[in-house]
Amino acid sequence: MTTHPTDLELLQGVARGCERSFSQLFHRWAPRLGDFLTRTTGSREVAEDLVQETFLRILRAAPAYRPHGSASAWIYRIAVNLAYSHWRKRKHAPALSALPSEQHPRARTPDSDGPEATRQRREFLRDLEDATRRLPANQRMVFQLKIGQGLTYGEIAAVLGCPEGTAKSRFHHAVRKLRAELREWDGAAMREPDDATRSPHSDGRRSGPGSERIPRERRFNG
């Protein structure tokens, strides 16, 4: 039975200068980071640049990495810090891009597949995107890590360096604000996924921004 190396094992390989480990880590993580950064910055082009910068930082920092927490939280933290830095440079935090349609609540209509339902759904998604734009940056980040990436509150806390209760509170505040903003949509219900919900990208096979280029700024020996 084929076993796949863990993220920690791949990071340790990168630290030793193993090109194969870096390539495996890149192809595992680039799609999900591209998806995450596209949604948090609102720009596919910006996301591609930030994915590249994330892996350059992983490359530089891997030799000094010590596994005090999960390797995935460490990788996400690098991407999150780059997203915050991007927001600060722009002097405002952009909206999250629309989440995949299957993750959005549905407005109730008599015929869920009819043209009227389709029109209402599009209007609801536009209203939801507008509402996320008005969320505070910290709440928006937790909302995306929870809904878009499927992280648990414990994982979000590790990524953001905050208590688990703080992560949970920020998410619940975000959901309440979105519900208030979207209260005219009587048939729509904002879901609050439990911690059993996992990311649909966990196998790393989905393509996404940043998944086609691998930084070659460093020559490997392994």
Residue 196 corresponds to which tokens in the numbers above? Answer: 């059993």
How do residues 71-89 score in pLDDT, each as one tens digit? 999 999 999 999 988 888 7
> 77 to each of 57, 83, 84, 160, 184, how far by Cα in Å?
11, 10, 10, 6, 36
Instruction: Give the up-direction half-sphere exposure of residue 163: CA atoms within 13 A in the CB hemisphere.
Output: 3
pLDDT interval class at 51 (50, 70, 90): very high
Min mean pLDDT across 64-73, 86-95, 108-117 is at: 108-117
Its pTM stands at 0.68
pLDDT for 183 equals: 77
Instruction: Give the up-direction half-sphere exposure of residue 6: CA atoms within 13 A in the CB hemisphere.
Output: 7
- For residues 192 and 152, the answer to whether their CB atoms sit within 8 Å is no
How do residues 149-199 score in pLDDT, each as one tens digit? 999 999 999 999 999 999 999 999 999 988 888 877 655 445 555 554 444
pLDDT for 2 equals: 64
The neighbour count for residue 42, using CB atoms within 10 Å, is: 18
Choose between 181 and 60: higher pLDDT.
60
pLDDT for 3 equals: 81
pLDDT for 31 equals: 95
> Which sign, positive or negative, has the C-alpha torsion 18, 24, 28, 33?
positive
φ, ψ of residue 185 to 5 degrees: the values are: -85, 85
pLDDT interval class at 90 (50, 70, 90): confident
Domains of the chain: 1-94 (1.10.1740.10), 113-196 (1.10.10.10)
Q: What is the mean pLDDT of residues 19-40?
A: 93
pLDDT interval class at 98 (50, 70, 90): very low
Among candidate residues 31, 25, 90, 92, the one with its CA nearest the CA of residue 57: 25
pLDDT for 195 equals: 58
